Amino acid sequence: MLKVHHLRIGRSIFTVWLLEELGAPYELEIYVRNEMGRAPPELKNAHPLGKSPVIEDDGFILAESGAIALYLLEKFDPENKLGPPQGDAKAKAEWMQWLMYSEASAFAPLLMKLLLSRTEEKPPVFDMFATGEVALQLGYLEDRLSNREFVMGDRFQAPDIGTTYIAQMAERLGEIGPYPALKAYLDRNIARPAFQRAAEKTGG
């Protein structure tokens, strides 16, 4: 059976969420962060980087959320309910863009903002850059969601999982207030039964 190596209080809950949306069988190996918020060394037994998410499927080890999502969709989504459009190269490329967006353009400025929030002395150049970039990314999402229920339109798809991760980070950092469409999107998605099951099984 497919195994998910899950680090608590981290992005691997979103891999579990995808599996729950797909109704796929899996088991969880749960790891707890140390007092510094770092992953325990045991996670390196699953992958040399000691990061999460990592999946293990009959001896096949795979890391990186986007790659994992594509693998799970290929394996467990034969009807292509959550996957990319077929037969239209441009539509598929746009879908892929949004799948990768959450860990590409969107993630770095929010991570920088998170790290700055943990120190009293904020180097001005980093603080100014992070503030501007966070506003740019959240504004981009707000505009995207102002006239659609989900990132790709009126139907929940795999890119919504990563985008929800970004929205949740923004909320935790106190940055989501000026973006009502993004906040409504976040609330709508985390209310989904599959997300609730994932949160319960992983401990949040």
CATH number, domain containing residue 188: 1.20.1050.10
Q: Which residue has the tokens 């892929």?
A: 96
55/93 same-domain check: no
Its sign, for the CA torsion 200, 202, 203, 204, is negative
67/96 same-domain check: no
CATH of the domain at 33: 3.40.30.10
176/136 same-domain check: yes
151/99 same-domain check: yes
Q: Provide CB contacts within 8 A for 81, sequence distance 6+.
A: none
Q: Provide CB contacts within 8 A for 133, sequence distance 6+.
A: 108, 109, 112
pLDDT of residue 57: 97
At residue 158's C-alpha, the angle toward residues 33 and 48, to 5°, is: 35
97/180 same-domain check: yes
102/46 same-domain check: no
Q: How many domains does the chain have?
A: 2
pLDDT in tens, the chain (204 residues): 999 999 887 788 999 999 999 999 999 999 888 876 687 788 899 899 988 999 999 999 999 999 999 999 999 999 999 999 999 999 999 999 999 999 999 999 999 998 898 888 878 888 899 999 999 999 999 999 999 999 999 999 999 999 999 999 999 999 999 999 999 999 999 999 999 999 999 986
pLDDT of residue 125: 82
94/187 same-domain check: yes
Range of the domain at 57: 3-81+194-202
171/121 same-domain check: yes
pLDDT of residue 127: 86
73/102 same-domain check: no
111/185 same-domain check: yes
95/132 same-domain check: yes
Report pTM: 0.93
pLDDT of residue 50: 86
pLDDT of residue 118: 84
188/198 same-domain check: no
